[in-house]
Amino acid sequence: MAENIAYPLSKKVWYKWSFYINIVLFFIIALCICLLVIDSYNAGNASNDATDQLSQAWLCVARDIGFLSIALALVFFQFFRNLLIITRRSL
C-alpha cells in the first residue's frame, strides 16, 4: 500500500482538475495585478517622503511581482504542455 502513494487519475478527472486549477490561477493573476497597481500607487505617494514607508511599499511591489510571475509561469507551462499534447495527437 505504501508504494501507491499517488492515486492514478483518469484523463477525465485530470482535465477537470486542470480546468479548476487554471480558473484559480487566473483569479490569482487578476488579484495580483490589482494589488500591484495599488501598491505601485502607494509607492509613488511614499516617494515624496524619504522615510521607511518607501522601502515597505517597494517590498509590497516586489511581493506582488513574485506572485504574479509564479502564477504566469504555471499558466504558460500548462499552456505549452497542452499544446505539445495536441500536436503529438494530431501528427
Contact 22, 79 (CB under 8 A): no
Q: State pTM to two decimals.
A: 0.71
81 domain residue, yes or no: yes
Instruction: Provide the domain count of the chain.
Output: 1
Tell me, yes or no, whether 1 lies in a domain. Answer: no
pLDDT in tens, the chain (91 residues): 555 566 677 777 777 888 888 888 889 899 989 999 998 888 888 877 767 777 888 888 999 999 999 989 988 888 888 888 888 887 6
Domain contains 82: yes
pLDDT at 85: 81
Q: Is residue 5 part of a domain?
A: no
Q: Is residue 45 part of a domain?
A: yes
Domain membership flag for residue 7: no
Whether 6 is covered by a domain: the verdict is no
* Residue recorded with cell 499544446: 83
Residue 68 belongs to domain spanning:
17-90
Does residue 10 form part of some domain?
Answer: no
pLDDT of residue 90: 74
